[in-house]
Amino acid sequence: MKKIGLCLLGIVGLLFGQEVAPSHVFKAQGNVLDIVVQEGRIIAGTDAGSIEVFDLEAKVQETAVVFDGIEDFMGNPLGAKVYSVDVLRNGSTFLAVVQTQGSFRELYIVREGVKERVLDASAQLMIKKAKFISPKQVLLGLMSNELMLYDVQKKATVYRFQINQSHFSDFALNESKTLAVTSDESGEIALVDVMMGEVLQTYKGGNVDNVYKVDFKKERILTAGQDRRGIIYERASGRFERVNADFLIYAGALSPSSILGAWAFTEDNAIAVFDLQTKTQRYTLKGQRSTMNTIVFVDEKTLVSGSDDPYIMLWRLP
């Protein structure tokens, strides 16, 4: 399939649009590694070994779940990093990828505050990301660039297959959780049938280096690349458009309608928000304090972002 690339913004390193400051700053117990948002709540995983839940409207912390700590090579206590978090629609069942004492990682489900270790270190898995497909099944992204569908009820692997030989970066699900897109160091994006465990399509040409983050909404795929490119692919045609940043793009996200795209855009961690229909930059969000790792749209007017520090920024677009 022929891929056609068009440039959304031909000017590198300049920011336009209305400048926006954070409307609120939440503080977690440790550096924030991952964020999901559901029903007016922020769920964050931190390097202090915690899942922390914040109420977006009340602007308070609701609860925190803390995992057992580990030790460094000198025997000093450390928090077990929570690399990935997710939540079921019931709002009280969490999924977490947690650091262990060795080189592997463990998978936990937390129901009403009770922690259940689903996969322990003996499974010898380097899990980077995990998402609920249903209350019974979870999709895992492994550092070996493998996807693994695991049945938590049967305690059995449904499938496990490797996308390619490159190092895994990220995956994102569509709204129905029937399709996933994955990214890696090759710059290619794979579209995967979640239930069958098959690659349906590969998207090339947009990025030429590691794609740190992907998002997938309303038949659009967003990428955030080490090559300073933010790409928007149309799922059906494979056509793409591109924005150019003046720094590595560590994070990006689509709004629920996929009309807006946001990327971490500069060395000082500004977020550029583009209207993907008019192909113009509408807003510049300034105030993030460290290197960005997560951007999430709550709705068309609200975003949250996390970086390599304890601060979660809440942004309200005019």
Report pTM.
0.94
Amino acid found at 131: K
> Which residue type, as a one-letter code, is found at position 181?
V
Q: Tell me which of 11 and 42 has the higher pLDDT.
A: 42
Q: State how far the Cα of 49 lies from the Cα of 52, in Å rounded to an integer.
A: 10
Nearest of 116, 121, 141 to residue 131 by alpha carbon: 141
Which candidate, 14, 24, 99, 98, places its Cα nearest to that of 54?
24
Residues 142-172: tens digit of each pLDDT? 999 999 999 999 999 999 999 999 999 999 9
Range in 33-37, 130-134, 263-267 with the lowest mean pLDDT: 263-267
Rounded to the nearest 5°, which phi and psi values hold at 202? -120, 130
Q: How confident is the model at residue 15 (pLDDT cuts 50, 70, 90)?
A: low
User: Looking up tokens 């460290």, which residue turns up?
Assistant: 290
Say how far apart CA 128 and CA 132 lie, in whole Å: 14
Mean of all residue pLDDT scores within the chain: 93
pLDDT at position 139 over 50: yes
pLDDT for residue 17: 84
Q: How confident is the model at residue 2 (pLDDT cuts 50, 70, 90)?
A: very low
Rounded Cα distance, 159 and 136, in Å: 14
As beta bridge partners, residue 9 has 243
Q: Is the dihedral of CA 27, 28, 31, 32 positive or negative?
A: negative
Tokens 């677009």 belong to residue: 317
Tell how many helices (H) and how many strands (E) occur in the chain. Answer: 0, 32
Model confidence at 12: pLDDT above 50? no
* Residues above pLDDT 90, as percent of the chain: 89
Domain residues for the domain of 260 are 5-316
How far from 80 is each of 20, 36, 105, 118, 233, CA to CA, in Å?
Answer: 34, 19, 10, 16, 36
Q: Which residue, among 313, 277, 302, 270, has the nearest Cα to 19 in the 3D structure?
A: 270
Number of folded domains in the chain?
1
Q: How many CA atoms lie within 13 A of 270 on its CB side?
A: 23
Residue 192, domain CATH: 2.130.10.10
**pLDDT number for residue 71:** 82
Q: How many Å apart are CA 225 and CA 223, to the nearest integer?
A: 6
DSSP one-letter code for 207? -
pLDDT in tens, 38-89: 999 999 999 999 999 999 999 999 999 999 988 888 888 889 999 999 999 9
Q: Which two tokens stand for residue 33?
A: 């590694």
